[in-house]
């Protein structure tokens, strides 16, 4: 048997080396493409997050501007015009030189200011005191109606939020208790009686200037429940400057809850005021 020529063997080896080199190049190109795609995905995700955050910031700024305009509109009727008539003193009949008279405005004693976060108010163990109210942050999950029943058996009800300061307290406390942002708690707000008419558990209508809806909420989503989303839950905030943390949700969903009831007054404020 004749052996292959030396040149043929060398050519075959060279071809094999080129093929290996091409395969290695293709592998490097594939890895580079995957890396580029991953980096692109990360950039898109970051830009989307920043976009949503910016939109939420703009919405909160618009909400604050609306609140300021509403407050100014409400207070305008209360502003009384100042009188331009200056008080004058009667001229004496005998004396030639008149003496200015002192106008003394009547004063009324001011009651002693009561500090709401002092020992004169007391909450039960496990409840958080804020002002004259006590709040219980339940970690047990249940439906909106079941959560409300639990609150009422403890002498309270699901929380009603009356101010941005109270909203800030609740979001901050949720963050302190859970250490996370995606944990939700039921609050005492629902439109189950009439769609779009949001009522607190005490029957009062939601003040739109004190509505802390998250972006594009409420949306009454029906994918999980054909009845829609008629109850409200809230969560902590990423930044204390943005308080919009309300989401509508199916009342049948299981969430944690916040109960609220008046704090117990342990001081006799009447006797304090009578001593003034």
Do 136 and 213 reside in the same domain of the chain?
yes
User: Is 86 contained in some domain?
Assistant: no
User: Is 136 contained in some domain?
Assistant: yes
> What token pair was written down for 167?
């909203």
Note the pLDDT tens digit of each residue in 227-245.
999 999 999 987 767 899 9
User: Is 217 contained in some domain?
Assistant: yes
Percent of the chain at pLDDT above 90?
48
Task: Give the CATH number for residue 242.
Answer: 3.10.100.10
pTM reported for the whole predicted model: 0.57
Q: Which of 115-129, 172-186, 256-270 has the lowest mean pLDDT?
A: 115-129
How many domains, in total, are found in the chain?
Answer: 2
In angstroms, rounded to a whole number, what is the distance separating the alpha carbons of residues 69 and 53? 24
Across 94-118, average pLDDT: 43
> DSSP assignment of 222-270, as one string?
-SS-TT---EEEE---SSTT----EEEE-TTS-EEEEEEEEPEE-S-HH
What pairs with residue 232 in β-bridges? 248
The answer for residues whose C-beta is within 8 angstroms of residue 156's C-beta and 6 or more apart is 134, 136, 259, 260, 261
Mean pLDDT taken over the chain: 80
Question: Which of 40, 58, 73 is a domain's end point?
Answer: 73
Cβ 236 vs Cβ 245: under 8 Å: yes
Question: Which of 58, 73, 88 is a domain's end point?
Answer: 73
Higher pLDDT, 58 or 85: 58
Note the pLDDT tens digit of each residue in 70-96.
555 555 555 544 444 444 444 545 444
User: Is 78 contained in some domain?
Assistant: no
Do 30 and 145 reside in the same domain of the chain?
no
Do 127 and 31 reside in the same domain of the chain?
no
Q: Which domain holds residue 166?
A: 121-265
The count of residues in the chain is 276
The yes-or-no verdict on residue 108 having pLDDT over 50 is: no
Across 237-255, average pLDDT: 90
């Amino acid at each position: 048997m004749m052996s292959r020529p030396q040149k043929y063997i060398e050519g075959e080896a060279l071809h094999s080396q080129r093929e290996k080199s091409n395969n290695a190049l293709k592998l490097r190109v594939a890895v580079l493409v995957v890396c580029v795609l991953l980096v692109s995905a990360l950039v898109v995700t970051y830009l989307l997050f920043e976009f949503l955050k910016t939109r939420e910031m703009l919405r909160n700024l618009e909400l604050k501007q609306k609140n300021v305009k509403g407050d100014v509109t409400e207070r305008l009727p209360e502003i009384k015009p100042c009188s331009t008539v200056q008080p004058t003193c009667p001229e004496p009949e005998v004396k030639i030189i008149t003496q200015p008279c002192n106008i003394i405005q009547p004063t009324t004693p001011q009651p002693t200011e009561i500090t709401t976060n002092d020992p004169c108010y007391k909450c039960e163990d496990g409840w958080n005191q804020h002002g004259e109210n006590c709040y219980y942050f339940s970690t047990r999950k249940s439906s909106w109606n079941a959560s409300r029943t639990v609150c009422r058996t403890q002498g309270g009800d699901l929380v009603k939020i009356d101010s941005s300061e109270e909203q800030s307290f609740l979001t901050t406390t949720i963050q302190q208790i859970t250490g996370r942002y995606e944990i939700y708690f039921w609050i005492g707000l629902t439109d189950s009686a009439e769609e779009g008419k949001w009522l607190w558990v005490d029957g009062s209508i939601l003040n739109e200037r004190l509505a802390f809806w998250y972006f594009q909420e409420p949306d009454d989503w029906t994918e999980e429940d054909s009845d829609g989303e008629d109850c409200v839950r809230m969560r902590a905030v990423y930044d204390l400057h943005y308080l919009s943390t309300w989401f509508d949700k199916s009342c049948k969903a299981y969430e944690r809850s916040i109960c609220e009831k008046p704090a117990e007054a342990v001081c006799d404020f009447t006797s304090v005021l009578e001593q003034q």
